[in-house]
Amino acid sequence: MTTLIQRDSSQELVVEEADFRKETIYFVVVDRFFSGSVDNDEVGRAGLFDPNQQLWGNYWGGDLDGLIAKADYFCSLGVTALWLSPLFEQVDDKLHEFAPMHGYWTRDFKRLNPHFIDAGDDTCVHRSTTLRRLVETMHARDIKLILDVVCNHSSPEINGSKGVVLDDGQPLADFNNDVNNFYHHYPSITDWNDEFQLIHFEMMGLATFNESNPDYRRYIKSAICSWLDVGFDALRIDTVKHMPVWFWQEFVTDIQAHKPSTFIFGEYGFGNPKEPRTVEYANHSGMSILDFGLCDAIREAFTNSQRGFCAVQDVLAQDTVYDRANELVTFFDNHDMPRFLSICPDHGKLELATVLLLTLRGIPCLFYGTEQYLVNSTNGGADPYNRPMMTSWDVDGTLVGLIRILSGLRQENRALAYGSQRQQWINPATYVFSRRYRDNRVLVMLNQGDQRSLSLPQCDLPDGLHRCLLTGETVQVNNGCIDEVCLEPMARRVFSVVGDSLDAPVVLKVAVNGYITHPGERIVLTGDCPELGEWDLAASVALEFINGDCWFAEIPFSSSLGRCIRFKAVVLSDGGAPVYENVLHRQYTLPMQGRLKLNLNWSRL
């Protein structure tokens, strides 16, 4: 449960929710997006900036002013949240021809990298005018800001210095003189399946923080809270797998106690639903995670003709292992892997992959430049060549148009944010699926093979004529069936039916996980208030099936505002006795106004 309760001017309780399921995230490597100021290029040690943009390890000039200058571009693209590569002050040096333009060798978590702000601006988070302008500019356009956070490590050994960290300019820790036990002192990881090594040993020589030190924990949490205080809305956490679950539980608890509206997702690198440790972190760390399993499947779908779209469906079929599959952050390329076009140099397939990403379950995240077909395939496109400089901001391109339409649809049609997915047709070359929630429907058709004609006997759309949002082509639905639809090579069709909105002073978005239902079974919520039927199962609120063990509903409240309600989940079946979850009745205090989410696990408080 992640809600922010605060007093408004009328002294009524108001709730602001930490729910990103309708958002479309755009991930920017700040140094490689756009230079809005040249005065900051040469700050710090000489030789770290390359004005010719030929030395891939150097700074190339992108900064916060560049993001501000392109704010209207983000609006034109339709994205609703910006994930920015780390903005913290970095080590002012190079290692093996690489400067920390990426932002993952932090020197001071409470100060900004001077390469990214106006020359002469204060680097302190609370005093930086550049940072304040960024927040104001994006929020004025309803664009949320996501801070990239590194809690696991600081910096590697560079010219005799390692892991030197400051606390708002004051000395705090030094790996080579670790009198306060801020760091683990173990060698580099050699066995990536060894739990102790993953947590305590070094990754690529980076000084690894000692999470058992309460002084370290207080420092890192206070630092991150200072960024939230200036207006960041969410956190992306780096290298989650290298710190124990208990640390993340404490971190998330304290961060959301400070600002409960904070959405948090982490990088469990190259995890997948078949790996128990990935699932443990996804379900028990308190945060969502980046969905590497689906990323791999999408990339395989367009590069392995034998598997094709079946690779995607195979991953989705494992969603029951996750408590919150619809909150996983999905993607198909990022700063640590070759871009999609490096492994599949086909613009048409990139467009299909983007349509797929924006209509599947989860919160989609696009990598900067994907919409402009940005790519550099030197050395196969591996790091650092996957981080070229952005060179085009065309708002009329094909892929930009697709993203704009589908990002808008994610805001409008709740089937994409909350709904279940039903496979309608699949083979390696063709994928047709529907999303549904309440009276909202989305039908998606993709074809990367030869022309094909299909019939869909149960298409999930209501009867009538429906027009594709992307192409304008129409299909006729009679008795729930599409008799025939012709899909040309590289076809993409998206049909949408937007249901009635749910208006009430308070809307509680409830998900129940952990009970695998069988045909004929359904889950309801019953409780001691009128909105939940006052314990009368005949008047209880029905939840909607999402996947094998997840049921969901938005529940409006108007009579019970401001009071503590008591409730529990019950399984009903035709002709069978009701099955109550085996817990004392749950309790929740409703605010007077707001929309909030509540994630429940069957028979677990």
d(CA 16, CA 268): 28
Distances (CA, A) of 415 to 326, 430, 450, 553: 11, 22, 30, 12
Distances (CA, A) of 183 to 200, 211, 472: 9, 8, 59
d(CA 432, CA 95): 49
Q: In 3-state terms, the chain is what percent helix, strand and coil (to 5)?
A: 25, 30, 45
Residue 5, domain member (yes or no): no
Residue 97, domain member (yes or no): yes
Query: What is the CATH number for 445?
Result: 2.60.40.1180
* Claim to verify: residue 440 and residue 511 sit in the same structural domain: no
* Claim to verify: residue 225 and residue 286 sit in the same structural domain: yes
Average pLDDT over residues 462-469: 98
* Claim to verify: residue 525 and residue 479 sit in the same structural domain: no
* Claim to verify: residue 299 and residue 332 sit in the same structural domain: yes
* Claim to verify: residue 203 and residue 85 sit in the same structural domain: yes
Residue 13, domain member (yes or no): no
Residue 3, domain member (yes or no): no
What per-residue confidence (pLDDT) applies to 386? 98
Q: Give the angle 573-577-583 at the CA atoms, nearest 5°.
A: 100
Domain edge (last residue) among 372, 393, 413: 413
Tens-place pLDDT, residues 60-98: 999 999 999 999 999 999 999 999 999 999 999 999 999
Query: What is the CATH number for 518?
Result: 2.60.40.10
Strands 420-426 and 363-367: unpaired
What per-residue confidence (pLDDT) applies to 230? 98
CB 262 within 8 A of CB 2: yes
Residue 467, domain member (yes or no): yes
Residues acting as catalytic residues: 238, 267
* Claim to verify: residue 106 and residue 253 sit in the same structural domain: yes
Residue 206, domain member (yes or no): yes
What per-residue confidence (pLDDT) applies to 152? 98
> How many domains does one find in the chain?
3
Instruction: Tell me the residue type at 32.
Output: R
How many of the other CB atoms lie within 10 Å of CB of 573? Answer: 14
Give the chain's largest Cα–Cα span: 78
If pLDDT is split at 50, 70 and 90, which confidence band does 17 have? Answer: low
Asked whether the predicted pLDDT for residue 57 surpasses 70, the reply is yes
* Claim to verify: residue 369 and residue 479 sit in the same structural domain: no
Domain edge (last residue) among 463, 497, 531: 497
d(CA 184, CA 172): 15
CB 485 within 8 A of CB 453: yes
Residue 461, domain member (yes or no): yes
Average pLDDT over residues 156-166: 97
If pLDDT is split at 50, 70 and 90, which confidence band does 14 have? Answer: low
Residue 258, domain member (yes or no): yes
* Claim to verify: residue 407 and residue 451 sit in the same structural domain: no
CB 498 within 8 A of CB 413: yes
CA atoms in the 13 A half-sphere facing the CB of 558? 4
State the residue for tokens 């990298």: 113
* Claim to verify: residue 239 and residue 276 sit in the same structural domain: yes
Strands 263-266 and 593-601: unpaired
Query: What is the CATH number for 265?
Result: 3.20.20.80
CB 441 within 8 A of CB 494: no
CB 512 within 8 A of CB 506: no
* Claim to verify: residue 307 and residue 286 sit in the same structural domain: yes
Q: Domain containing 431: what range? A: 418-497
Tens-place pLDDT, residues 21-42: 999 999 999 999 999 999 999 9
What per-residue confidence (pLDDT) applies to 575? 87
Domain edge (last residue) among 413, 440, 473: 413
Tens-place pLDDT, residues 554-565: 999 999 999 999
Asked whether the predicted pLDDT for residue 125 surpasses 90, the reply is yes
**322: Cβ–Cβ under 8 A, 6 or more apart, which residues?**
273, 279, 282, 283, 328
* Claim to verify: residue 67 and residue 170 sit in the same structural domain: yes
* Claim to verify: residue 488 and residue 597 sit in the same structural domain: no
CB 526 within 8 A of CB 536: yes
What per-residue confidence (pLDDT) applies to 605? 85
